[in-house]
Amino acid sequence: MNAPLCRDVRYDRAMDRPTRYRALAPWLLETFGAPVHRVALDAGSSCPNRDGAKGRGGCVYCDVEGSGTGAWKRGDELARQLELGLARVARRGADAKAIAYFQSYSNTYVSIERLQEVLYVTLPHLGSRIVALSIATRPDTLSDDALTLLAEWNRRVPVWVELGLEVADDALLVAINRLHTVADFEDAVRRAKARGLGTVGHAILGLPGDGREGARRTARTLAASGVDGVKAHHLMVLRRTILEKWWREGRVETLDVGTYVAWLTDFVEELGEEQVLHRITADASDDELLAPKWTVHKNDVRTLLEAELERRGTRQGSARAAAARP
Ligand code: SF4
């Protein structure tokens, strides 16, 4: 995919408070009255795409750490991970707060007893450093029993359920070995919202066979689902993934930063204006990342998004609002 590289962009701290899209950091500050940082946790869960219940090998872009830190396999117990993470947050300021983010694998793909045990690790820190729990999972592994438990915790501390949609196309969800449907996602969001839980939907732009219109379609599905927050990022080819093999065979193109910003701007225009953008890029270590190798920092992408919305004279939700007008 070719588009001009944006070589001259430098992160503008003013973009911490963008005016044309709803960014997470200012929303957290308004909501919790303090800077809030994520503490990524690996509870050693699994995933039905890896253990054979649904599939094997995982989603094509997912590495063997289940898109997480890999801390569990390195032998770091959950309580220790949390302790270290909260210490890092404390170093960022006496008033800094934390979201305990259960990131790796499908965190509700465990027994209710195990889910309760995992959540209990946060208990000593609720009301002090931890201000929210965020539980990442697949839409087809969110049982009513899990929702009941999360709703109980939601009475103590805000609980968000993070659900991967990734792409709003059932055929592509099969092609990338995700093996759930768009309807599964919509149903999971509806059931989580009915329990009063916060909801966040994930999307990946640039998946093979999707394209620019696909990015718009995924945004429209996320908007219609009513998720409170949205995480988006560009397709990244990581080592030890199925995608690595496809990429080495020349079957995968990745987006340059200019193309990604154009597609991301379309995506943001299609969202609901009230939805909070939790993320617009993703992280990977230099060792893990094979492509694309961008030369701009992820913070620069925020500046580029705001600049592109300004250049177009649009903002988050403007395409959705225009489509709704008679
Ligand atoms: S569902 Fe999540 S953990 Fe499982 S293979 Fe896909 S991205 Fe990885």
Average pLDDT for 247-273: 97
Confidence band of 295 (pLDDT split at 50, 70, 90): confident
Residue 2 has pLDDT above 70, yes or no: no
Q: Is there a contact between 72 and 9 (Cβ–Cβ < 8 Å)?
A: no
- Name the DSSP letter for residue 48: T
Pocket test for ligand 1, best of 45, 67, 178 (most atoms within 8 A of CB): 67
CB 54 within 8 A of CB 179: yes
The half-sphere exposure of 287 on its side-chain side, counting CA atoms within 13 A, is: 1
Predicted pLDDT at 1: 38
Q: Between the CA atoms of 69, 152, 162 and 45, what dihedral angle is there, to the nearest 10 degrees?
A: 40
Residue nearest to atom 6 of ligand 1 (CA): 59
Average pLDDT over residues 137-143: 96
Q: What is the pLDDT of residue 71?
A: 66
> What mean pLDDT is predicted for residues 45-63?
90
pLDDT at 33 exceeding the cut of 50: yes
Which of these ranges, 7-11, 54-58, 255-259, has the smallest mean pLDDT? 7-11
* 306 token code pair: 């705001």
Q: Which residue among 49, 65, 173, 241 has the greatest number of ligand 1 atoms within 8 angstroms of its CB, and so is best to mutate?
A: 49
- CATH fold of 13-324 reads Transcription Regulator spoIIAA (3.30.750)
Ligand 1 contacts (CB < 6 A) are 47, 49-50, 58-59, 62, 66-67, 105-106, 138
Q: What are the tens digits of pLDDT across the range 66-95?
A: 555 666 666 678 999 999 999 999 999 999
Question: Residues 256, 3: contact at Cβ < 8 Å?
Answer: yes
Residue nearest atom 3 in ligand 1 by C-alpha distance = 105
- At residue 4 the predicted structure's pLDDT band, cuts being 50, 70 and 90, is very low
Output the six-digit token pair for 95: 């008033």
Under the banding of pLDDT at 50, 70 and 90, the label for residue 234 is very high
Query: Is the separation of the CB atoms in 252 and 237 below 8 Å?
Result: yes
Mean pLDDT of 128-136: 96
Q: Where are the domains of the chain?
A: 13-324
**C-alpha–C-alpha distance, residues 73 and 50, integer Å:** 15
Q: What is the pTM of this model?
A: 0.93
Nearest atom, ligand 1, residue 136 CA: 2
Tens of pLDDT, residues 174-210 = 999 999 999 999 999 999 999 999 999 999 999 999 9
Decide: 94 and 60 in contact? Cβ < 8 Å: no
